[in-house]
Structures are given as structure tokens and as C-alpha cells.
Structure 1
Amino acid sequence: MGTAGIGNLYAPVSNAVAEATVAAAWEGGVRLFDTAPYYGFGLAERRLGAALSVVDPDQTAIISTKVGRVLDPDPAPARERHGFVNGDRFAPRFDYSRDAVLRSHEASLERLRRDRVNILLAHDLGALTHGAQADAQMRAFLDDGYRTMVELKDAGAVDAIGIGANEVAVCEYLVDRVDLDVVMIAGRYTLLDCEAGERLLPLCLERGVRVIAAAPYNSGILAQPIEADAPRRYDYIAAPAGMLRRAAAIGAVCARFGVELPTAALHFAHRDAAVASVVAGMVGRDEVAAHLGRAAADVPDALWQALAEEAMAA
């Protein structure tokens, strides 16, 4: 379960709904929960920690969180910031230094009410996020932040370290240069964007790096049957017309095989041998039930060949 949604991504969610979402996921067998200080500026971690303290008091869940941004107090924040609505009163600031990594890790543990997290990822490195500052941020990470993450792992504070990004190039760059346990790639191994499958996933398989495929629904465009009357996002913004047409073409092929588009989207992300887990955002018990139903559905092998030939190459 991804937790950006219970951090009020795009719309406010009540504490009760957030707690019910985590409880339903737990009851349904979900054991990996991915979060980050950035999601609601502490809100998602805080809500996840509160909910898991009830359903998982023995702290058996696998928790993935991130470093790379620190949260500074913001006494009068705007209602909506970075897509999050009514987040906590903090402002995110990029910082990949040693002190920032340690500070972020400690603050996450406090919000999560846990003694430790299992997976610690460096969040949003790369040109897509940092533009002209990308090289400087990468140097700061490699010279300081990465070494600190290694120290935390060597000390037993975390089980695994890695990177979380929605940019394939930066993941390939780091897998080629440093030892990582995990790569979380968001939205780049989906029915609409298979870029990660070209080199990153084979590279990770070769190096023994586990891949978490996040955002299998590409921010929502693949999360509902194509005929559903609902706003559609692709990569966090309104889906462009060309992407809507591609999704419709993929959905039409899926329909011939009796498979709904969201079910195909979820199963596709699981198909590569490098992928150890898939993380999808959920808000509310209904979304959790829908997601778990898709995961349990049968998808015929012939669908993938048909999609490759008729729709995904478009």
C-alpha cells in the first residue's frame, strides 16, 4: 500500500478514513506499506503510524520510507502545496547531507511510532526533479547521504537501502555505481510506460537489486475501467488526450479477454522477474477491496501478447 493518498494527495481525507484504509489493507493481507515525509509533510507517516499501532502492535509490517527532504516548521501553510491538501504544518526542503538523512530518519520513526523501518530510500534524485541542480544534489548524496544510509544499514537500524524515483535514468546511474538493495521506480513500468523494462529491470535482476514497481495505475488513468466517468490523471497531472487514447486502446483489448483495465494494469507490473513487490495507492475500504480483488483475479496469458501486438506499442 502506498500512502500518499492518506497524506491528502489531491483531496482531504479524514483521520477515520485513513485509519480504516490501513486496517482494511492489513486485514486483506497487505504487509508492505510505503510512505515518505513528503506525503502530506509528515501527515501520511503520522497516520500510518497511528493505524499500525492498533492493527500491528508487534511491528511486523514491512515499512518503507524515504530521506532526501527535511521538514521545516511552517506556521501558516497554504491549503494546497505540491498537490497535498491540508497537510501538516511543515515545508519540505531537499537535503541529502549526513545530518539531514539522520534527522529525517529519526523524525520518521517518531511519526511512525516504530523502533525501526525496514527499507530506507533516497527520494527524488535526478534531473526531472532537480533540473540544473541535479548534479550538485547527486554529489551531495554520493559524498554524504549514501554513506550515511550505508552506516544505518551496517548498524542494523534498517534492513535495506535504495532509491525511490520516477526517473529511470537516475536509477540506472546509481545501480551502475553503488551497492543498492532496492530500487523503487514509480510509473515507469506500466501498461502506458515500459521504459524501466528496457534496461533498468534487467540490470537490477543481474545485480541482485530488488525492484518495487510503484504507481502501476500511472496516477489514476489506469485505475478505473476506461468507460468510467471520472477525472483522469497521468503522472500527477490531467491526462493528455493522446494518453487517454492509448489507455482506451489498451482497455479495448483487455475487454476482449474479459479483463478490466485496472486489473491488467496491476498484473502487468508483477510480470517481470526483477519485480519483488508492487505498491499502489489506496484510500478507503472500497479502494482496498477493489485492489485486492484485482490482485486475486485470473488474467489469461494470451492478453499480454495481444496487448504487445495491438496497443502497447502505439
Structure 2
Amino acid sequence: MQNITKLNTERRNPNTTKIDTYSTREILETINKEDEVITGAVKKTIPEIEKIVDYASEHIPQGGRIIYMGAGTSGRLGVLDASECPPTYGVSFEMVQGIIAGGFPALLKAKEGAEDDAELGRSDLKELNITIHDTVIGIAASGRTPYVIGALQYANEVGAFTGAISCVEDSEISKHAKARIEAITGPEVISGSTRMKAGTAQKLILNMISTSTMIKMGKVYSNYMVDLNPSNEKLVIRAKNMIKEVVGCDDETCDRLFEDSKHNVKLAICMGLTGHSIEECMQALTDNSGHLHLAIKSLNN
């Protein structure tokens, strides 16, 4: 049996040894105090996160994808981040994918044994037919999950870019990755409960990876998600509010732009700010790789 007690995430937290005797307020304040270390730990990993974002944003236009691989909480966080990209940025469900050990059932009910199977990690990734343009990111708070290691080993064999996200120093998964993200959040409030500080750090890092990649791919104008898919009432309202705020128009003009652009926020804004037709705006966006500020500049010159 492997000794995991030396892992940062498995050590006993000296600040919480009497937490079972605390009042509700004291418990909450203690958890909050421990959470204060998370952003500092993540900040130290930015140079490694940068490597992933630069590679992914360069290679996605060539058919590449971001693929998260993980088990348990780590796997669920990867699936969560991936699933939110299509409605937020209007990308395909294939562009950012989250793969969890044990498949869909493991999202709802823990399937602990799956994380110990390195061959399962390899085979799950093989099914995606990855190439050198893909970015494969293994996620494991403890940094030692065999499922993730197997996936990273296979990704390296085919030449994909590899990243590892863990919360321990000199993690095993880091040894199999080109970008080595180790956010050291320290012992958990409840020993070994890595869904807490470690999980929060992982969520922050995944947010940074996907959001930064989408920005660099032209999915954002100013700080608006102009490629969102207005697929429900809330998102339609959000889309129209964006058009009104950016273009500076009234409700009637906004509704017209929204309809004329066929519910495409980016096109509606381009048309509203330049006065050009939908065809001209589409061409300008194509010529400028989807970057709205560059398309507007080209049309206004």
C-alpha cells in the first residue's frame, strides 16, 4: 500500500484539530480563513497556465481541442468547465471536453475504482482520436491518479500538448506533462477532503484556462461574451442587453439588429457600430479570425 500521508493534500491541518468542538460560526470562519490561501497558491502557477493557453489558442483553429481528464471531484470539475463553454462562447461541444473516469454515471455517484486504472485512461483518450493539435490536461488533487497518468502517457505518445493540474509538490502527474501546474493549497480543513481548498483551486485554474483561451480566440469583445448562444429566455435578454450597451441604441434598434443578424450578437454589434451589412460584417470577422475589435477597425478605415 502506498504511503500518501506525506502529500500536501493528505496532511493533518494543525489549525482545525478541534473543529468538531466549534460553534457553527467558528466552523464557518475557520473554513473561510483557510480558503484565503487559495488565490495566492493559484497565482504562483500562472506561468504554467500561460503555456497551456498559448498552445490551445494557437492550435484550436487548426482543429485542436482542450480535453480534461480526471477522476472523482477533479473529473467532475473538468466536465463542468467543458460543458459551460458552448452556451457561453458559442463553440462546439467537441472543442472543450471533460472526460471522467467511470463515464457519465461517475458524475452522479462516485466510482472510486475507476481512478486506479491507467489503461482505462489510455483507452478513453484513444477513443477521441487525438492529434498534435490537441491539448490534454490531467487533473488530480493528489497528483497521483493512475487514470490520469495513463491518459497523459498516451497523449505524449501521439504528440499532443499535455498539462497537469495538482495540489501537491513534485506530483506524479507533473512528470508526464509539459505544463506543470501545482497549486499548493496545503492540508484541508477536514483531512483529505480535497473537494474543498484543492477543488476550489482546480476550479479557478480551469476557469482561467478556458476563459483566457476564448478571449485569445476572439470570443470576447471588451469584456462581453459576444459569441454566446442565446438558447433560452435568460440568454436572449443577456444578448439584447449586450447589444444595447455596446451599440448605445434603443430597444427598437436593438430588436432590429438582433433579428437582422439572425440572433448573432457579434454580428449585431458589428452592424450597429459600423452601419455595414451582415455580409460585410461576416467577411470582416472571417478576415480577422473572429476578433470583433479588429473587424470593426477594418470596416471603419
The structure richer in helix per residue is: 2
Q: Which has the larger radius of gyration?
A: 2
Give the alignment's TM-score, normalised by structure 1: 0.30
Give the alignment's TM-score, normalised by structure 2: 0.31
The structure richer in strand per residue is: 1
